[in-house]
Structures are given as C-alpha cells and as structure tokens.
Structure 1
Amino acid sequence: MSTTVKAAVFTETGTPPQIRDLVLPDPGPGQVRVRIAAAGVCHSDLSLSNGTLAQPWPAVLGHEAAGTVDAVGEGVTSVTPGQQVVLNWAPPCRDCWFCEQGEPHLCKHSMDRTAVPYAQLPDGTPVYPGLSTGAFAEATVVPERALIPMPEGIDPAMASVLGCAVLTGWGAVNNAAAVREGQSVLVLGLGGVGLSVLQSARLAGANPLIAVDTSPDKEELARSLGATDFLLSDSTLKKAVRGLTGGRGADHAFEVVGKGAVVRSAWDASRRGGQITVVGVGAMDDEVRFNALELFHQSRTIRGCVYGSSDPAQDVPVLADLARKGELDLATMITDEITLEDVPDAFERMRQGKGGRSLVRFDT
C-alpha cells in the first residue's frame, strides 16, 4: 500500500523545484507517516539546493516542520495516530560513542537516512529526503525517533520553527555559549536562526544586545525581538561594537550567516577572552585565516555549534513552555506565510537577506 501526496521535488543542483505527485510507502517497522501542518524554509535548504551541502537527487527538501501522525508502523509505541508532533531532522541513535558522551547533536548515525530513498515518483524513480525529513510535502515518512510529541498549547504551524530555527538559536546561546546575565552579545545575521539567537540572548539577560545585518530593513524586527542596538555590517563594525561595549568588544559573538568573512568579523568585534560561536553553515572552500600571534594574544574561544548543541527531546518542551508564557515570540519571526509553489521565492529572499522566516503552510 502507498499514499500519494503533493511535494516540491528538486531534480538537480541549482534548479527550482517542481510540484509533483510523490508516492509514500506505508510506514514500515519503527516508522511513522506524518501529515505536515507547516514547514519553515531554512538556509540549510538553500544550501542543499545550490550544492553548498551535498544532496543526492531527486529529493524533497524541508526539515523544519510539525504535523499530525497519520499512520504508524509495527513496533511504534511513543506516538499514536492523531497526535501532533514536531520533527527532529537529526534524530540521535542513543547508542553511538557521541550519544553515550551526552552529545546527541553529534550522533554518528543521525544523518544515515539522507542517503537512502524514502519515496518515489509515479514512474518509480526513487526520491531522497533532504536532511532525513522531506518536509516540503503534504506528508512524509520518518523514523519514530525523529518525532517529538508536541507540547499542549502551541499552534501546530508555529511549532514547526521549534524544530530547527528556535532550537538551534536557543541552544547556541544556552548550551554552547552559556551566556550569562549582563554579558554583551553580538548577533551577526538576522534570518530565522539569527532572530532566535537574538531572542534567546534577551531571555538570558544579555546587555547590550547588538544585532547586525546587511539590510537596514531588519532594524525594526530586531529591536522588536530584544536588540538594544542595531548596526549594519560594514567596515566600521568593529569600531561601532567597541563603542557600545566600553571599548573592549563583545563578550559573545554569534555568526549566523555561514560566511568566512562574517566569522572573521565576529572574531574581530569580540573582546580579549571573548567567545565566538559559529552557527551558520558555510561552504567547504570558504576559509577563515588567523595568525598564530593573535590566537595566543587575544585568548578568544571560537567554536562550532551543530543544531544548538541540543537534545531536542529535552529542549523542545522547554522552548514550548517559553512560547506558551509569551517569553518567546514565534509569530513575529515568521515574516512570510507561503505555499509550496512559493518556495523558490523564499529562497530568493534569503539570498537577498530579506525578511525573517518563511513558513509553508498546509493547514490552510
């Protein structure tokens, strides 16, 4: 048996998707079929589509999503049909060395499924799930461990951004960098993840909280989500940040663009002994250079941060509670609600640095 749904199917690198029928098999042992309520359009989807990240074709991209369990396979016990869930695009195996060390975000097997077809076109052509998930479709089939029961009191569409943008941003601030109240924070890049870093730093009590982007149109949005200051990303950035931080530079800088030049800007705008957290996904050939003396003399710490260094099963309920209390604003981050056909336009907005999160909604 199988189910046919509409999906945005990408056939090769650098080309827009086609809206086509996708044939999903019934869920096998340990698998679950989920009807998607909404899927956020993440910069990682753009990176997959343009070849920055490797992706076998044809594929259905989209990995930040929430929906309702439609059917379960043999042996599934944690969710039931009709239950609302948030998707986890990097589900940990819980058995590898990294998982046993308390680092499920680095799980050795979390990405195994990306190289395995999960569906097919009507002519039998196998189709791959982008980042294990394939959420730019009316439904998808994923392993049971890739699902987090949706906490009560959260709009299913808004809950989709909990699965990537918000979790990644909140985790970068709290799990990776451990920002403390009163520390200065610099956020470079105000897309969906950057806006989540901004909100999370506000909740952590950062002050000043400096937002940086290439677009002056982002200032109002940044300030509404907690920025105390807004700067344009240009040659004066280092001096401007020092002027806001007692001449020292930022205690914490978060790079949320995925560009070597922005990583370098984050480094230069940080204080001696400061911390730089690289959240953006950059290209393999985009290098960053440091000299040996500055590494010693500046005594800064630079780290990468995968998926917010998080354990989604533990952290998503915390985020949902913050959203229910009104402390975490999910709706303001979403600047465009779109259909599947509008995904290429959302990609173009990201390329141009416009807007916050675009959300593909299926429940309308």
Structure 2
Amino acid sequence: MKIRAAILRRSPVKGPYAESMPLSIETVELDPPGPGEVLVKISAAGLCHSDLSVINGDRPRPTPMVLGHECSGIVEELGAGVSDLKRGEQVVMSFLPTCGHCATCVDGRAQLCEPGHAANGAGTLLSGARRFHCDDGAEPFHHSGVSAFAEYAVVSRRSVVRVTQDIDPVHAALFGCAVMTGVGTVVNTCRVRPGQTVAVVGLGGVGLSSVLGALASGASRVVAIDLSEDKLALARGLGATDTFVASDPDVVEQVRAELNGGVDHAIEMAGSVKAFELAYKITKRGGKTATAGLAAPGSSFAIPAVNLVGEERTIHGSYMGSCVPPRDIPHYISLFQRGKLPVDKLLSSTGPLDDINAAFDLLNQGKVVRHVIRF
C-alpha cells in the first residue's frame, strides 16, 4: 500500500530544521504484515529527544530511516499467527520489541531483550525484515521497530500493547515512551517508597513524567531541577515541592541544605554528563542515583570510589523505565484515567505531519515538552 512517511535521508543534520529540512515527507510503499506482525494505522505520534538525537547524530542509526517511536494507533490487519488482537482495537507501541525467550526476557528484564536491541540497532523489525520501499529503490530502515512518523506502520506483535478504547489517542501516545520511561524509572528502577525524597534533573517529557511518578508514589518531597524557568514553573504546577535552577553555581549546596543532606533518589533525565554529576552530588548517604538520560556515545563520568563505598551509594541505569510494557502501560493509563497521573498536562501542542521539521526546532530549543503529530 502507498502511504506518506517522514524520512530521514542523512544524519547528522544541523538546525534550524525548518531550513535544513532533515525529514522529507514522501510517498512510500509499505508491505503487508508478515508472520507475527501487525499493520497499524497511526493515530498520534510524539516528538522525543531520542528522535532528535538520530537527526543530530548523537545516536548514530542507519539511513534512510522513518523515524518516530512514541505513538498510538488502530489495528488494521493481522499477519499470520497473530490471533490475540482484533481489527479496530486501539494500541500503543513499545519502542523495544521483546522476544519473550532470550536470557534477559526469561529473567524478567524484557527491557534488555537481546534480539530486540539487535533489531533496533540494525534498523529492522524483530524478524529482521524491512517493510518500506521508495520509488528510487531505497528501502528505509525502521526506527525502534516502530517508525511512527507515517500514516501506517507494520510492526512486530511484540511491539504492540492493547489499551482501552476510551482514551484520547493523543494522550495514549505519550505512554509509549515519555510516561513509560519516566514513571517506570521511579516505580520499577528506583522503587520509591512513600515518605522518601526524590529529585529529577532535566524536565523534558520523560523528566516531568518522573515528577508525576514520584508524586503518585507518595514521595514526601519532589525536587525539580532544570535550566528553564518555564519548565520549573510547570513542575511546580504538577506538584513539585521544590525547584532549583540547574545553572546556579550553588545549586548542589542549596539542595543538600534544603533536603537535609540530599535526596533518597536523584534521577537524571537530561542525557548530559553534567546533569548526572549534579544528580550524584545531591544524592544523600545510602541513596540511589539513577539515569534514563541517553548521553552521546563516548560520554563518561568519574566518581570518587571511596565515596561510593563509604556512603553505600548506588548508581543505576534505567532503560524503558525497567518496564514490562503489556503490564505497565495499561496500568499507567488506568492511573491517568483515575486522576493519579495527569500526563495530559505534558502536552504542549499538536500539529500535522507536514510541519514536523519546524516542530523539531521547538523541541530542540526547549520550547515544548511534548509536541504530538496528529494523523
């Protein structure tokens, strides 16, 4: 079938993107779903820094590629062997297909699925197939097994999570990345307990989702830290108890003084070594510093070993919020519908696929938390 899709033909590309136009809207041929695959009509797709990092080259990926990984849609067609979904059901995509039988999947850590990560790195579906074809003979790669910046997507059944029909598709899309990663880092990775203190460094869509997750978990103090006064104001509106400007040279001392030596859990969501170092410095004795921010390849940080041992500190990486998508996405949506996770407040704007390059400028400039493409 012929569909319209946003294709990244080369990387890296510098902004402003409204001028350099890294994503071209093209008509491409999309194959029908193969065995174990599903054709989904995309309803809404969010713009994420993980997409931006492919455009600017921070996360090298093969090109040409149809970007987009945070989305909702409607099941249109089922490939051979898929019998547990029905046409017309609403779904949210997970940006990592999980095979269910590799060592990490069997160990209950689906977010580390070995075949899933291999397929994502290669730009294919879980089966190893590619389903896009251009008139010039190019066969674009898939982004995170999803490629949501298109009218339709063929994805592995292992990338699809059935969700309730009575949620706005624009809101549903946010659960595929921002909410799953942000809330999951709090709930699954850090296992925040009621009464503990939490700091979040970096207030994009994922970081603000962590703020909401910490509040829902019963944290007694939720500290929000960012360079942007506007995002700090948004965090206060969501319920953050304390806010600090990351660029303040005394920010570490301020947080430690206000929080009695630091926080139980400091979560870095900026994808920056400086932000991680800040998070580590404001973590109290015996506390945990977690990061789900994807810094550029080659980035590294140094910590004093004696401090790590003497204070029994923990450093923890979190990928996909340590989530099991079929378990966690419906649960988080239920919390949203009960007013416990007001993720709709993270939505900055919506727009058509044709305006996607200008929308990435807004994301790159920090002017939006989440911009969602409506189809």
Q: Does 1:302 align with 2:323?
A: no
Aligned to 1:35: 41
C-alpha separation in 1, matches of 2:276 and 2:138: 41
> Does the CA contact (< 8 Å) of 1:91 and 1:146 recur in 2?
yes
Give the superposition deviation at 1:146: 1.2
Within 5 Å, give how 1:185-224 maps onto structure 2: 185-224=198-237
> Does the CA contact (< 8 Å) of 1:214 and 1:353 recur in 2?
no
> Does the CA contact (< 8 Å) of 1:59 and 1:130 recur in 2?
yes
What letter corresponds to residue 4 of structure 1 in structure 2? K
C-alpha separation in 2, matches of 1:206 and 1:65: 29
> Does the CA contact (< 8 Å) of 2:199 and 2:265 recur in 1?
yes
What letter corresponds to residue 194 of structure 1 in structure 2? G
C-alpha separation in 2, matches of 1:228 and 1:51: 36
With normalisation by structure 1, the TM-score equals: 0.95
1:170 to 179, 183, 206: 183
> Does the CA contact (< 8 Å) of 1:78 and 1:144 recur in 2?
no
Aligned to 1:57: 63
Report SS of the residue matched to 1:346. Answer: helix
C-alpha separation in 1, matches of 2:153 and 2:354: 18
Could you report, residue by residue, the CA deviation over 1:108-155 in whole angstroms, capped at 9, with x for unpaired residues? 011343323331112321111111110011111001121111124211
What letter corresponds to residue 12 of structure 2 in structure 1? G
C-alpha separation in 2, matches of 1:237 and 1:336: 31
C-alpha separation in 2, matches of 1:304 and 1:340: 33
Aligned to 2:23: 17
2:256 to 242, 249, 261: 242
- Return closer, same or farther for 1:4/1:220 CA change in 2, 3 Å cut-off: same
With normalisation by structure 2, the TM-score equals: 0.93
C-alpha separation in 2, matches of 1:343 and 1:274: 41
2:98 to 92, 95, 101: 92
> Does the CA contact (< 8 Å) of 1:36 and 1:66 recur in 2?
yes
Unaligned runs of 5+ in 2: 14-21, 125-129
Give the superposition deviation at 1:333: 0.5
> Does the CA contact (< 8 Å) of 1:218 and 1:355 recur in 2?
no
Provide the alpha-carbon RMSD of the alignment: 1.3
What letter corresponds to residue 23 of structure 1 in structure 2? E
Could you report, residue by residue, the CA deviation over 1:207-244 in whole angstroms, capped at 9, with x for unpaired residues? 21111110111122111212111111022211111122
Aligned to 1:147: 160
Aligned to 1:106: 112
What letter corresponds to residue 251 of structure 1 in structure 2? D
C-alpha separation in 2, matches of 1:113 and 1:141: 14
Q: Does 1:82 align with 2:96?
A: no
Report SS of the residue matched to 1:315. Answer: helix
> Does the CA contact (< 8 Å) of 1:64 and 1:163 recur in 2?
yes
2:136 to 99, 123, 131: 123
What letter corresponds to residue 104 of structure 2 in structure 1? F
C-alpha separation in 1, matches of 2:166 and 2:252: 43
C-alpha separation in 2, matches of 1:183 and 1:347: 36
Report SS of the residue matched to 1:85. Answer: strand
2:325 to 312, 316, 322: 312
C-alpha separation in 2, matches of 1:353 and 1:233: 15
> Does the CA contact (< 8 Å) of 2:90 and 2:165 recur in 1?
no
Could you report, residue by residue, the CA deviation over 1:270-300 in whole angstroms, capped at 9, with x for unpaired residues? 1111110101011122111112222223321
Aligned to 1:181: 194
Runs of 4+ more than 6 Å apart: none
Report SS of the residue matched to 1:332. Answer: helix
Give the superposition deviation at 1:321: 0.7
> Does the CA contact (< 8 Å) of 1:153 and 1:324 recur in 2?
no
Give the fraction of aligned pairs with identical amino acids, expressed as a percent.
Answer: 38
Count, aligned residues = 359
> Does the CA contact (< 8 Å) of 2:207 and 2:269 recur in 1?
yes
Give the superposition deviation at 1:334: 0.8
What letter corresponds to residue 76 of structure 1 in structure 2? V
What letter corresponds to residue 37 of structure 1 in structure 2? S
> Does the CA contact (< 8 Å) of 1:37 and 1:157 recur in 2?
yes
C-alpha separation in 2, matches of 1:101 and 1:169: 22
> Does the CA contact (< 8 Å) of 2:184 and 2:323 recur in 1?
yes
Q: Does 1:254 align with 2:267?
A: yes
Aligned to 1:6: 4
C-alpha separation in 1, matches of 2:320 and 2:141: 21
